[in-house]
């Protein structure tokens, strides 16, 4: 292949796009977190996220969130095609602000849980889950 | 509509006033994420349950918004306070407009 100026330019654009890709998925999570918190500062005390360190099957990964006193807890999977997973809103009759469910993970990634407290502050916990078989089909 | 959708709920039969009980719910549903493709490479359209609520005598216990990242046969486990004898109502909202419900009575002795 003869390397013309046009080819060089196209290759440069291509590699720039490739380099931006991971940044963009990361930004998607940041955007969704900002949409939930309104850009407020996020603390780290008072929330527990229980997830397995290694999940053999990404189709059903058991997770548990617990944030005493929280109004709502939102869960994100940073590496999924759509990062948001679920939002738990607790009512007056919830005995504890905790819940357990099973989620899908596309691959090894961080699972993030953020709780909104009644005073308007936010706390966050995250854990990396290693996934052997992804859970998004293909 | 999703076929063979069957809710299963586990609530203790009786409790003491103010007791904290654990509720487990499971509903059979494919939770098609909208990410998968069929044999011909066409995207299978999204079809999930997008909301689940639990109330006791009309008061909210928990209200969950579900995204496609929730596994097939969505399972939830949570705690509730039982102030008096009454009924827990469980409601699941499907993308296609269907609503599945289940209820369990509990007696405060």
Closest CA to A49 of A92, A80, A107, A88: A88
Hey, are the CB atoms on B79 and A96 less than 8 Å from each other?
yes
Per-residue pLDDT of chain B (109 residues; tens, 9 = 90+): 567 889 999 999 999 999 999 999 999 999 998 888 889 989 999 999 999 999 999 999 999 999 999 999 999 999 999 999 999 999 999 999 999 999 999 999 8
Q: CB neighbours of B75 closer than 8 A, spacing ≥ 6?
A: A100, A101, A102, B24, B25, B26
Q: What is the DSSP letter of A32?
A: H
Cα B70 to Cα B90: distance, rounded to the nearest angstrom: 18
Residue of A nearest to B79 (CA): A95
Task: Give yes or no for residue A56 having a pLDDT over 70.
Answer: yes
Hey, are the CB atoms on B78 and A89 less than 8 Å from each other?
no
Task: Give yes or no for residue A138 having a pLDDT over 50.
Answer: no
Cα A116 to Cα A111: distance, rounded to the nearest angstrom: 17
At B26, list the tokens.
Answer: 């499971």
Give how far Cα B57 sits from Cα of B18, B21, B79, Å: 14, 15, 16
Hey, are the CB atoms on B81 and A91 less than 8 Å from each other?
no
Hey, are the CB atoms on B64 and A77 less than 8 Å from each other?
no
Residue A2: the pLDDT is 62
Task: Give yes or no for residue A18 having a pLDDT over 60.
Answer: no
- Find the mean pLDDT for residues A36-42: 86
Residue B51: the pLDDT is 96
Hey, are the CB atoms on B61 and A135 less than 8 Å from each other?
no
Residue of A nearest to B88 (CA): A93
Cα A12 to Cα A126: distance, rounded to the nearest angstrom: 36
Secondary structure of A41-106 as H, E, C letters: CEECCCCEEECCCEEEECCCEEEEEECCCCCEEEEEECCCCCCEEEEEEECCCEEEEEEEEEECCC
Inform me whether the C-beta atom of residue A39 falls under 8 Å from chain B C-beta atoms.
no
What is the pLDDT confidence band of residue A133, given thresholds at 50, 70 and 90? confident
Inform me whether the C-beta atom of residue A133 falls under 8 Å from chain B C-beta atoms.
no
Q: What is the ipTM of this complex?
A: 0.90
Q: Per residue in B7-34, is it b (16+ CB within 10 Å) or e — as a string? A: bebebeeebeeeeebebebbbbbebbbe
């Amino acid at each position: 292949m003869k390397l013309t100026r046009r080819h060089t330019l196209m290759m440069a654009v291509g590699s720039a796009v490739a380099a931006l890709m991971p940044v963009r998925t990361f930004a998607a999570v940041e955007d969704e977190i900002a949409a939930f918190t309104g850009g407020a500062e996020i603390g780290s005390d008072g929330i527990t996220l229980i997830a397995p360190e290694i999940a053999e099957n990404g189709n059903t990964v058991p997770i548990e969130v617990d944030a005493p006193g929280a109004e709502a807890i939102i869960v994100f999977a940073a590496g999924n095609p759509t990062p948001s997973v679920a939002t738990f809103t607790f009512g007056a009759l919830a005995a504890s602000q905790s819940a357990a469910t099973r989620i899908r993970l596309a691959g090894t990634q961080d699972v993030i849980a953020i709780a909104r407290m009644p005073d308007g502050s936010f706390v966050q916990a995250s854990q990396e889950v290693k996934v052997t078989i992804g859970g998004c089909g293909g | 509509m999703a076929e063979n959708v069957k809710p299963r709920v586990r609530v203790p039969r009786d409790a003491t006033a103010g007791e904290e009980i654990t509720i487990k719910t499971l509903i059979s549903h494919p939770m098609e994420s909208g990410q998968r493709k069929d044999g011909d490479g066409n995207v299978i359209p999204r079809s999930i349950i997008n909301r689940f609520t639990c109330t006791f005598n009309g008061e909210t216990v928990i209200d969950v918004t579900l995204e496609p990242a929730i596994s097939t046969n969505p399972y939830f486990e949570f705690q509730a306070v039982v102030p008096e004898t009454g009924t827990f109502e469980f409601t699941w909202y499907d993308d296609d407009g269907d609503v599945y419900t289940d209820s369990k009575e509990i007696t405060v002795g």
